[in-house]
A and B are shown apart, each in its own frame.
Chain A
Amino acid sequence: MSTRTPWLRPLVALCVGALFFVPLYLVLANTFKQSDEIPGHPTSPPWPPTLDNLEAVLTRPDHLFWVSLTNSVLITTVSVVVLTVLSAMLGHYLARSRSGWAKGITLALLTGLMIPAQVILIPVTDVLKAAHLMATVQGLVLFNVAYYVPFGVFVFMGFVRSIPIELEEAARVDGAGRLQIFWRVVFPLLRPASASVMIFLGVWIWNDFIDPLVILGPGRGTTVTTGIYRSIGQYQTDFGSLFALMFLATLPVLGFYLALQKHFIKGLTGGATKG
């Protein structure tokens, strides 16, 4: 087929891709369309385009978008940075340790990869309440760190094993302490693993819905995802603003993705191929 009709494969790919893209087109088109046109012509192209919807969202009197954005940026950045450092150290410790109880800890951590967050959310609220961390950004960050540390450890452990231990031994002979060895020798070598961990956790935590909804609570605490969820009711008739809010909430993570696409794919496919 490919030798006689070379145009067939790209054509089919394009058609399947276009069909697949329709829902995303809907957001783009309706973000730049007059709000009253959306119910009647949801699929028509936004011509002439308007910035009214974006402006309406950005200038809301309750600053919903800006508050959500600030919270999401803060929660995601702090969680990801802490998680990367913490799980790199723990992953390195466990990968290099030969003791039996390190294996037990590894097993306990890797089990965490399978635990659905909903299973532990009810008691988590009690634990956080006891520490006066319920309905705070700090509480959510701590929970993110605890919940995602297994994923970080899993990625880093695999990667540490591919680094020759001789490098660390050489540094030890030269008189470097353990922390020095870690920061000066190991951590720089872990950069590809750090990139995957930061990318994945960044996207997951940014898009997280149920954890901020429960832990930040119904008060002022809102992230971009819970912000969208709460405005579904408010924007019952104003679809333009709803689509604009979703467009703006997606923009940072989309930019992040497009800028780091190569690392995304590499991090994702690291385990898909052997060797």
Chain B
Amino acid sequence: MTPHTQTRRGSPAARVPQGPTTSTRPRERTAAPRRRIAALRSGLAHFAVFGAPGILIYAWLVLVPIALSVHYSLTNANPFNPPRRWVGLHNYRMLLHDEQFHTALRVTVVLTLIVVVVPNVAGLLIALLLDKRGRFYNAMRSVFFTPMILSSVVVSVIWTRLLDVDGPLNRALRELGVRHPPAWLSDPDLALYSVASVISWQMLGFCVVVYLAGLQSVPGELHEAAAIDGAGPVRRFRAVTWPLLAPAVTINTVVLLISAFKTYDHIKVITNGGPGAGTTATLAFDVLATGFDSNHIGYASAMAVVMLAIACLATAIALRILRAREIDL
């Protein structure tokens, strides 16, 4: 901290205000450009110290890679097939007819829908249940939030054990009399829903905490006024609570949307894209598998660019719709 504060002495910024006090009228004409230059220099110094470091590193490791992704996507880049050639939109045209890509798209959309809806709805119900003051309810809130701070790898390993064909869940089901409990992770028709449930379990606590904060910000007088007007609990929820929860709905939906869309870790650990032909392979999973495992850098980059476009578009649309619902008190 100290070296920074020392370097500021006698800096251009400190000198600027001294200009006008010493200048007289005839001199001002020549001093004006000089002052402008001093102000510019001071602005540049300000930018160089405060703005540039963050922006440069962001440009270097995020913006340049995006530009490179677009560039690679127009080539047949492959480290084991050296002469890199320009192929134009060939990779994108291939994507249109690529069954595997269509599957990945479908898997991602289904998974995202489940992970946006389930924790949102369940989170709201649980938040309504826990919307009371006191130690007990605070402790319960912590219980629901804990999975959020766990690594998705840890969560995935736990659930892989839990959902195993002979795992604790199926044992319990057998004891309850289910003779052939489902193969949660190895049945191609079921695996995607199982993984989506695991992610929903992990994200649930986030929604609970955000909804609880939203509920506790609703002024009590509004509830009282509605009750005096004869509104029952359901009516009060619909007319008072729900509209005022709009900002919480926005946050939960957007966060769930962004994180569900890029699901990778859970897939990698739990199913590795299977069972069968990519039944749980998301776009994020397919991009890295095509790029790093099969070395089709060009093709993988085209997938990445499409994925980026969908992510930005979906988030922007969701934000626009949800923000319009928000009202000011």
Contact partner of B50 (CB less than 8 A), chosen from A89, A177, A207, A232, is A89
A164 beta carbon closer than 8 Å to chain B = no
A86 touches B53 (CB 8 A): yes
Within the assembled complex, what's the spacing in Å between the Cα atoms of A218 and B168? 33
A124 touches B65 (CB 8 A): yes
A118 touches B151 (CB 8 A): no
Within the assembled complex, what's the spacing in Å between the Cα atoms of A255 and B269? 25
Most chain B C-beta atoms within 10 Å of own C-beta, residue among A92, A214, A228: A228
Within the assembled complex, what's the spacing in Å between the Cα atoms of A206 and B133? 32
Stretch in B87-95, B273-281, B297-305 with 4+ CB within 8 Å of A = B297-305
B213 touches A265 (CB 8 A): yes
B54 touches A153 (CB 8 A): yes
Q: Tell me whether A177 and B9 are in contact in the complex, defined as CB-CB below 8 angstroms, given that A127-B65, A147-B61, A272-B248 are known contacts.
A: yes
Q: Tell me whether A232 and B62 are in contact in the complex, defined as CB-CB below 8 angstroms, given that A118-B304, A268-B210, A274-B247 are known contacts.
A: no
A42 touches B167 (CB 8 A): yes
Contact partner of A123 (CB less than 8 A), chosen from B51, B65, B262, is B65
A210 beta carbon closer than 8 Å to chain B = yes
Within the assembled complex, what's the spacing in Å between the Cα atoms of A145 and B60? 11
Within the assembled complex, what's the spacing in Å between the Cα atoms of A94 and B65? 24
Q: Specify the chain B residue showing the minimal Cβ separation from A27.
A: B158
Q: Specify the chain A residue showing the minimal Cβ separation from B172.
A: A43
B51 touches A273 (CB 8 A): no
- Determine how close the nearest CB of chain A comes to the CB of B176; give it in whole angstroms: 14
What does the 1/0 interface line of A180-210 toward B look like (CB < 8 Å)? 1011100000000000000000010011011
Cβ contacts under 8 Å, A114 to chain B: 258, 311-312, 315
B51 touches A105 (CB 8 A): yes
Q: Tell me whether A272 and B312 are in contact in the complex, defined as CB-CB below 8 angstroms, given that A229-B269, A253-B149 are known contacts.
A: no
Within the assembled complex, what's the spacing in Å between the Cα atoms of A9 and B268? 39
The interface residues of chain B, by DSSP majority, are classed as helix
Stretch in B24-32, B124-132, B177-185 with 4+ CB within 8 Å of A = B124-132
Q: Tell me whether A26 and B304 are in contact in the complex, defined as CB-CB below 8 angstroms, given that A16-B126, A118-B262, A273-B214 are known contacts.
A: no
Contact partner of A94 (CB less than 8 A), chosen from B51, B152, B168, is B51
Task: List B38-58 residues whose CB lies under 8 Å from chain A.
Answer: 46-47, 49-51, 53-55, 57-58
Q: Specify the chain B residue showing the minimal Cβ separation from A261.
A: B142
A249 beta carbon closer than 8 Å to chain B = yes
- Determine how close the nearest CB of chain A comes to the CB of B243; give it in whole angstroms: 12
- Determine how close the nearest CB of chain A comes to the CB of B269; give it in whole angstroms: 6
Cβ contacts under 8 Å, B158 to chain A: 23-24, 26-27, 246
Task: List A1-53 residues whose CB lies under 8 Å from chain B.
Answer: 9-10, 12-14, 16-17, 20-24, 26-27, 42-43
Within the assembled complex, what's the spacing in Å between the Cα atoms of A231 and B74? 38
B288 beta carbon closer than 8 Å to chain A = yes
Cβ contacts under 8 Å, A261 to chain B: 142
B64 beta carbon closer than 8 Å to chain A = yes
Q: Specify the chain A residue showing the minimal Cβ separation from B139.
A: A17
Q: Specify the chain A residue showing the minimal Cβ separation from B304.
A: A119
What does the 1/0 interface line of A140-151 toward B look like (CB < 8 Å)? 001101110110
- Determine how close the nearest CB of chain A comes to the CB of B301; give it in whole angstroms: 6
A177 touches B126 (CB 8 A): no
A180 touches B162 (CB 8 A): no
Q: Tell me whether A209 and B265 are in contact in the complex, defined as CB-CB below 8 angstroms, given that A23-B201, A127-B65 are known contacts.
A: yes
Contact partner of A178 (CB less than 8 A), chosen from B13, B55, B247, B305, is B13
Q: Tell me whether A123 and B69 are in contact in the complex, defined as CB-CB below 8 angstroms, given that A114-B315, A118-B284, A261-B142 are known contacts.
A: yes
B97 beta carbon closer than 8 Å to chain A = no
B206 beta carbon closer than 8 Å to chain A = yes
A254 touches B149 (CB 8 A): yes
Cβ contacts under 8 Å, A180 to chain B: 5, 8
A177 touches B8 (CB 8 A): yes
- Determine how close the nearest CB of chain B comes to the CB of A157; give it in whole angstroms: 12
A246 touches B157 (CB 8 A): yes
- Determine how close the nearest CB of chain B comes to the CB of A59; give it in whole angstroms: 21
A225 touches B46 (CB 8 A): no
- Determine how close the nearest CB of chain A comes to the CB of B254; give it in whole angstroms: 9
- Determine how close the nearest CB of chain A comes to the CB of B21; give it in whole angstroms: 14
Q: Tell me whether A246 and B209 are in contact in the complex, defined as CB-CB below 8 angstroms, given that A23-B162, A145-B57 are known contacts.
A: no
Within the assembled complex, what's the spacing in Å between the Cα atoms of A262 and B61? 34
Q: Specify the chain A residue showing the minimal Cβ separation from B307.
A: A119
Q: Tell me whether A92 and B157 are in contact in the complex, defined as CB-CB below 8 angstroms, given that A179-B7, A207-B152, A209-B151 are known contacts.
A: no
What does the 1/0 interface line of B64-86 toward A look like (CB < 8 Å)? 11101100100000000000000
What does the 1/0 interface line of A78-121 toward B look like (CB < 8 Å)? 00000000110110111000000000010011011111111111
What does the 1/0 interface line of A148-163 toward B look like (CB < 8 Å)? 0110010000000000
A175 beta carbon closer than 8 Å to chain B = yes
Within the assembled complex, what's the spacing in Å between the Cα atoms of A126 and B142? 42
A207 touches B151 (CB 8 A): yes
Q: Specify the chain B residue showing the minimal Cβ separation from A92.
A: B50
A239 beta carbon closer than 8 Å to chain B = yes
A-B complex: 10 closest residue pairs judged by Cβ atoms: A177-B8, A269-B213, A116-B262, A146-B61, A123-B68, A90-B54, A207-B151, A123-B65, A273-B217, A93-B50
Chosen A-B contacts, 15 in total, with CB atoms closer than 8 Å, are A13-B129, A26-B162, A42-B168, A105-B55, A116-B308, A119-B284, A122-B297, A127-B60, A146-B61, A150-B58, A177-B5, A207-B149, A229-B269, A269-B213, A273-B213
Given contacts A105-B51, A122-B304, 8 further A-B contacts (CB under 8 A): A23-B162, A114-B315, A178-B46, A179-B7, A179-B8, A183-B4, A210-B264, A210-B288
